[in-house]
């Protein structure tokens, strides 16, 4: 159980980082299209 928790925390952090990066890239591309 400890190994599963230790593995899922970095994966959860990575998933959050990927979603933030995706939102940022969509926002920047929409700004570029707007300009």
pLDDT digits (tens, 9 = 90+) for 1-35: 567 777 788 899 999 999 999 999 999 988 888 76
Q: Give the C-alpha distances (Å, rounded to integers) separating 16 from 9, 13, 20, 31, 34.
A: 11, 5, 6, 23, 27
- Rounded Cα gap, residues 8 and 26, in angstroms: 27
Q: What is the pLDDT of residue 31?
A: 86
Query: Terminus-to-terminus CA distance in the chain, angstroms?
Result: 51
Tokens (6 digits) for 34? 């707007």
**Residue 19, both tokens:** 């979603």
Cα separation, 17 vs 25, whole angstroms: 12
State pTM to two decimals. Answer: 0.59
């Amino acid at each position: 159980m400890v190994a599963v928790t230790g593995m899922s925390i970095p994966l959860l952090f990575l998933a959050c980082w990927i979603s933030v990066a995706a939102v940022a890239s969509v926002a920047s591309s929409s700004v570029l299209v707007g300009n």
